[in-house]
């Protein structure tokens, strides 16, 4: 976007954002609004890495995020895009937000072996001494659907999913928190974080690394997620997996070619893939 355009464009519009996610509830900075807006966001704007797949780090500028995720309507983004936009919405609603980074530790033997590559948020509501972990950008079946209080060893039920926060040993001066999800009959660690704030410049570096590093999974294959009230849809490479919300039934099919992959993105995820982008490699 040209510099002259930036001077005349409003970076963020709360009205446009809430219209995009279909939120018609209250706008008070309270727990009900925080939960409702997070769930509405998750069920409306898909998770996708198509910019990174095309070799380009997506912009985290609010003007660009509004154009792509809000006004564009046929695209989504990954964690830095989603949570940067969500943080702006929460702040416009009167919520104090601390931006965090986390280590994605699904399947990890040692948390320290995983770099901090995920963006999450701490949301503080006026008059509430307990901050909440809020996150609309974790592209996994174990993601939070609603914010949960930053309280250890307590099970939370968020829109049908089960989560808890626990502490993990850590050499540093701050407590390490671990988000766990109850999946496949047991508790599984999702990501680990400490509560110190990170700044936009930090995410610019992490975003560039994740999008452009040839060893990053996001630069090598499509990874797209969509959440509906009935199911969780995931496109991982050429595999389309649908997990039913009611009984956990999983169906999977392999996409045969580029045409079928583009059709699946359009019909199942509501995403128009950029022209010239090769999805299946």
CA-to-CA distance for 216 and 197, rounded, in angstroms? 25
Catalytic residue among 51, 79, 163, 238: 79
Give the contacts of 96 (CB within 8 A, at least 6 positions apart). 123, 124, 125
- The Cα–Cα gap between 273 and 247 comes to 31
From 41, 51, 82, 118, the catalytic residue: 118
Task: Give SS3 for 204.
Answer: helix
Q: Which of 135, 163, 232, 238 is catalytic?
A: 135
Structure-derived torsion over alpha carbons of residues 73, 75, 79, 85, reported in degrees to the nearest 10: -30
Distance from the first to the final alpha carbon of the chain: 30
Residue 57, burial from CB neighbour count under 10 angstroms (0-12, 13-18, 19+): middle
Exposed/middle/buried for residue 202 (C-beta within 10 Å: 0-12, 13-18, 19+): middle
**DSSP codes joined into one string, 208-241:** HHHHH-TTSGGGTS-EEEEE-SSEEEEEETTEEE
Q: Is 63 a catalytic residue?
A: no
Quote the CA–CA distance of 1 and 4 in Å, as a whole number.
Answer: 8
Active site residues: 79, 118, 135
């Amino acid at each position: 976007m040209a510099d002259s355009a930036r001077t005349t464009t409003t970076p963020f519009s709360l009205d446009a954002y809430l219209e995009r996610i279909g939120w018609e509830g209250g706008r008070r900075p309270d727990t009900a609004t925080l939960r409702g807006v997070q769930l509405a966001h998750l069920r409306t704007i898909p998770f996708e890495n198509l910019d990174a797949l095309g070799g380009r780090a997506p912009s985290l500028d609010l003007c660009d995020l509004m154009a792509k995720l809000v006004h564009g309507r046929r695209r989504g983004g990954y964690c830095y895009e989603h949570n940067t936009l969500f943080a702006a919405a929460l702040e416009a609603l009167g919520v104090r937000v601390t931006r965090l980074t986390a280590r994605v530790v699904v399947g990890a033997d040692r948390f320290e072996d995983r770099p901090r590559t995920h963006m999450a948020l701490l949301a503080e509501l006026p008059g509430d001494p307990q901050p909440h972990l809020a996150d609309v950008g974790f592209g996994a079946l174990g993601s939070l659907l609603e914010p949960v209080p930053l309280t250890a060893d307590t099970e939370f039920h968020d829109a049908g999913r089960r989560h808890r926060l626990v502490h993990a040993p850590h050499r540093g001066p701050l407590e390490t928190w671990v988000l766990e999800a109850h999946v496949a009959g047991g508790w599984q660690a999702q990501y680990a974080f400490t509560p110190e704030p990170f700044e936009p410049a930090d995410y610019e570096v992490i975003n560039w690394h994740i999008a452009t590093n040839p060893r990053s999974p996001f630069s090598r294959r499509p990874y797209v997620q969509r959440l509906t009230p009935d199911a969780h849809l995931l496109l991982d490479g050429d595999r389309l997996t649908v997990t039913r919300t009611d009984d956990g039934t999983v169906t999977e099919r392999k996409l045969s070619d580029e045409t079928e992959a583009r059709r699946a993105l359009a019909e199942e995820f509501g995403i128009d893939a950029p022209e010239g982008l090769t999805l299946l490699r």
